[in-house]
C-alpha cells in the first residue's frame, strides 16, 4: 500500500510535519524546565524543604504559578478554586490482647479514642447492615475481613451500630493491611477508630476469648488550599482539552520530581502557547491541582463540582505526574474503554504511537486509583496520562527496555527529602514534555474521530477498580 501510494503518503507526511503537534513539540526547551525546577526548589528551601499543603512552600508554589500565568492575561482566563482539606495525623495507637501488643496499623482518618477494653466480634465483610443485625455489637470491637466494599463503608456501618472500634484484616495471607478511610474531604465524621491486620492476626482475634484493649491518638487539622485554572480565551469552549498536574508535594520533601516535573511542564506549555499566540480549534484548559498527596482531593473536588453542562464540554482529561525519574520507565496509564470512560483507550494508543514513532519502549500501568484522573473518570470523562515510575522496584526486563538499575526503586527518593534537583533525569523529562506538547497540539487542533461525550451514571466511589485513593489503599 505504502509503495503504491507513496506520493500521497509523502504529502500526508508533510502535512503531519507542519502540524501544530509537531510545531509545539519542537518548542520544548530543557533550559526553561531546569530554571523552573531550580525556582521550585528554592521555594521549598525557604519552607523547611517542603511544598505540602499548609506550608509556606505551598503558598509560594501557588503564587509562582499564578504570577507566571498572569503575564499572559490576554491569552488565558485565569481563575482559582478554593476548598478545604481535613488533614489527619495519627500520633500513636496500640492494640493488645492479654497485655501483649498485636501487630496492627492505624487507618488514616480514624477518630481518636482513649483506652478501650472490649470484646472482639466478627462481622463477616461488614459491608451490609445484615452483617450487624442480630449481633450484640454495641461497645465492642468489630472485626471484618477486607473486601466487598470500601474501608469507609465498613467503618461507617460499625459506627452506626455503636461499635467502639473496627479491625479490618487482610484477605490474603502474609501481609498486614494499611489504608485510608476517606478522601479527606471537608467533613470527615461518622467513623470509628480502625486498625488493619494480617489475615492470620485477624483470625486469631476472631477466635480469641480474651478482651481486646486499644487506643488511637489522632489529630485533625483543616487546611484551605486551591486549584489554579487557566483556559485559552480562543478555541471552542464546548470542546475542551483538559490537562492536569498536581502542584503540592508531600510533607517530607520538596517534591521536585513529584510533581514539580509535571507542574513545570504544564507551566512551560502555558507560556509557550501564549508567547507564540497559538490559536487552536478547541479550547485548552490547564489545571494545577492541589492536595493530591493527601488523597487526590483537589482533582476530585474539581471534577465533582462540574455541572452536567460543564462536564460535557470536557472532551478528555490528561494527567501528568512524575515525568523525570533518574531510574525511569516510560509508563502509560492503561485506559480500557470496557471499564474506563470511552475514549480512554484511544488516548493510551496515542501515547504508545508517539513513543513507538520515536523508537522508544513503553509499558502500561494499571488505572487503580493512585492518581488525579480518578475524579474525572468517575464523572465519565475520558482520561489518560503518563508517568515514569514511583516507589516500586525496576524489573530486569524494564532495565533492558529503559536502562537504569534493576532491583532498585524507580524513585529512591519517592516522597522523601531527597526528591530534589538531583532527582531529575532531563532526557526523560524532555522526551515526555515533547510527548505532552505533541499530544496537546494534536487534540487541540482536532478531535475528529475521538468519541463524543456522554454522561453515564457517576461511578460510585466504591468502584472496586479503584482500590487505591492516592498512595493509600481504599478498598
- Provide the binding-site residues for Zn ion, judged by CB under 5 A: 258-259, 321
In whole angstroms, give the CA distance from residue 190 to residue 157: 9
Among residues 215, 210, 209, 195, the alpha carbon closest in space to that of 143 is found at 195
Residue 111 or 295 with smaller CB distance to Zn ion: 295
Residue 145 or 259 with smaller CB distance to Zn ion: 259
**DSSP state string for 441-464:** HHHHH--TTSPPP---PPPPTT-T
Residue 242 or 387 with smaller CB distance to Zn ion: 387
293 to 189, 259, 278, 371: CA distances (angstroms) = 21, 10, 33, 9
31 class by beta-carbon count within 10 Å (0-12 exposed, 13-18 middle, 19+ buried): exposed
Smallest distance, Zn ion to C-beta of residue 322, A: 6
Q: How many alpha carbons lie under 13 Å from residue 198 in its C-beta half-sphere?
A: 9
Residue 326 or 343 with smaller CB distance to Zn ion: 326
Give the phi and the psi of residue 157 in degrees, each rounded to 5: -65, -40
Residue 258 or 398 with smaller CB distance to Zn ion: 258
> Looking at the DSSP assignment, which residues form a beta bridge with residue 265?
none
Residue 321 or 472 with smaller CB distance to Zn ion: 321
Residue 370 or 394 with smaller CB distance to Zn ion: 370
Q: Which residues contact 231 (CB under 8 A, 6 or more apart)?
A: 76, 77, 237, 240, 283, 284, 285, 286
Smallest distance, Zn ion to C-beta of residue 47, A: 18
Residue 131 or 292 with smaller CB distance to Zn ion: 292
Smallest distance, Zn ion to C-beta of residue 387, A: 8
In whole angstroms, give the CA distance from residue 83 to residue 248: 14
Report the chain's terminal Cα–Cα distance, integer Å.
51
What are the cell numbers at 238?
Answer: 464546548
Smallest distance, Zn ion to C-beta of residue 259, A: 4
Residue 348 or 370 with smaller CB distance to Zn ion: 370
Smallest distance, Zn ion to C-beta of residue 131, A: 36
Continuous H helices in 161-276? 199-207, 262-275
In whole angstroms, give the CA distance from residue 150 to residue 228: 30
Give the phi and the psi of residue 60 in degrees, each rounded to 5: -60, -40
H helices then E strands: how many in the chain?
Answer: 13, 17
Smallest distance, Zn ion to C-beta of residue 425, A: 16
In whole angstroms, give the CA distance from residue 289 to residue 229: 9
| Residue 23 bears catalytic tag | no
Sheet strand arrangement including 120-122: 105-106, 194-197, 165-169, 141-145, 120-122
What is the DSSP pairing of strand 212-232 with strand 76-97? antiparallel
Smallest distance, Zn ion to C-beta of residue 296, A: 10
In whole angstroms, give the CA distance from residue 269 to residue 262: 11
Taking residue 259's Cβ as centre, other Cβ atoms within 10 Å add up to 30
Q: Which of 292, 293, 398, 445 is catalytic?
A: 292
- Helix (H), strand (E) at residue 62: helix 56-70
Hey, which residues are catalytic here?
292
Amino acid at each position: 500500500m505504502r509503495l503504491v501510494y507513496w506520493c500521497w503518503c509523502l504529502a500526508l507526511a508533510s502535512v503531519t510535519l507542519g502540524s501544530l503537534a509537531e510545531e509545539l513539540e519542537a518548542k520544548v526547551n530543557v533550559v526553561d524546565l531546569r530554571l523552573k525546577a531550580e525556582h521550585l526548589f528554592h521555594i521549598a528551601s525557604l519552607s523547611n524543604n517542603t511544598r505540602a499543603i499548609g506550608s509556606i512552600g505551598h503558598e509560594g508554589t501557588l503564587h509562582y504559578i499564578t504570577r507566571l500565568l498572569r503575564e499572559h492575561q490576554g491569552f488565558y482566563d485565569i481563575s482559582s478554586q478554593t476548598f478545604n482539606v481535613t488533614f489527619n495525623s495519627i500520633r500513636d495507637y496500640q492494640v493488645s490482647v492479654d497485655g501483649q501488643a498485636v501487630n496492627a496499623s492505624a487507618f488514616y482518618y480514624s477518630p481518636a479514642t482513649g483506652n478501650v477494653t472490649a470484646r472482639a466480634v466478627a462481622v463477616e465483610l461488614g459491608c451490609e447492615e445484615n452483617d450487624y443485625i442480630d449481633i450484640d455489637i454495641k461497645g465492642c470491637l468489630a472485626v471484618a475481613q477486607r473486601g466487598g466494599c470500601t474501608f469507609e463503608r465498613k467503618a461507617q456501618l460499625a459506627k452506626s451500630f455503636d461499635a467502639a472500634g473496627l479491625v479490618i484484616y487482610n484477605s490474603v495471607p502474609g501481609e498486614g493491611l494499611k489504608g485510608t478511610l476517606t478522601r479527606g474531604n471537608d467533613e470527615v465524621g461518622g467513623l470509628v477508630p480502625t486498625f488493619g491486620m494480617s489475615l492470620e492476626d485477624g483470625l486469631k482475634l476472631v477466635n480469641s476469648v480474651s478482651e481486646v484493649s486499644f487506643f488511637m491518638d489522632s489529630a485533625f487539622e483543616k487546611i484551605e488550599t486551591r486549584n489554579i485554572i487557566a483556559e485559552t480565551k480562543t478555541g471552542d469552549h464546548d470542546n475542551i482539552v483538559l490537562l492536569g498536574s498536581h502542584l503540592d508535594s508531600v510533607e517530607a520533601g520538596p517534591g521536585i520530581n513529584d510533581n514539580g516535573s509535571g507542574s513545570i511542564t504544564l507551566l512551560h506549555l502555558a507560556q509557550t502557547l501564549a508567547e507564540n499566540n497559538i490559536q487552536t480549534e478547541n479550547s485548552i484548559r490547564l489545571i494545577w491541582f492541589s492536595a493530591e498527596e493527601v488523597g487526590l482531593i483537589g482533582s476530585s473536588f474539581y471534577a465533582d463540582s462540574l455541572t452536567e453542562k460543564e462536564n460535557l464540554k470536557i472532551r478528555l482529561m490528561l494527567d501528568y505526574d512524575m515525568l523525570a525519574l533518574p531510574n525511569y520507565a516510560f509508563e502509560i496509564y492503561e485506559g480500557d474503554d470496557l471499564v474506563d470512560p470511552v475514549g480512554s483507550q484511544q488516548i493510551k494508543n496515542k501515547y504508545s504511537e508517539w513513543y513507538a514513532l520515536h523508537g522508544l519502549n513503553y509499558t502500561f500501568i494499571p488505572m487503580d486509583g493512585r492518581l488525579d484522573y480518578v475524579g474525572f473518570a468517575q464523572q465519565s470523562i475520558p482520561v489518560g496520562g503518563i508517568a515514569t515510575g514511583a516507589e516500586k522496584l525496576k524489573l530486569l526486563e524494564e532495565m533492558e527496555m529503559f536502562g537504569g538499575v534493576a532491583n532498585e526503586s524507580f524513585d529512591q527518593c519517592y516522597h522523601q527529602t531527597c526528591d530534589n534537583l538531583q532527582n531529575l533525569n532531563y532526557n526523560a523529562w524532555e522526551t515526555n514534555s515533547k510527548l505532552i506538547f505533541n499530544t496537546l497540539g494534536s487534540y487541540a487542533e482536532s478531535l475528529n474521530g475521538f468519541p463524543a461525550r456522554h454522561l453515564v451514571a457517576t461511578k460510585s466511589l466504591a468502584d472496586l477498580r479503584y482500590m487505591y485513593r492516592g498512595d493509600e489503599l481504599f478498598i
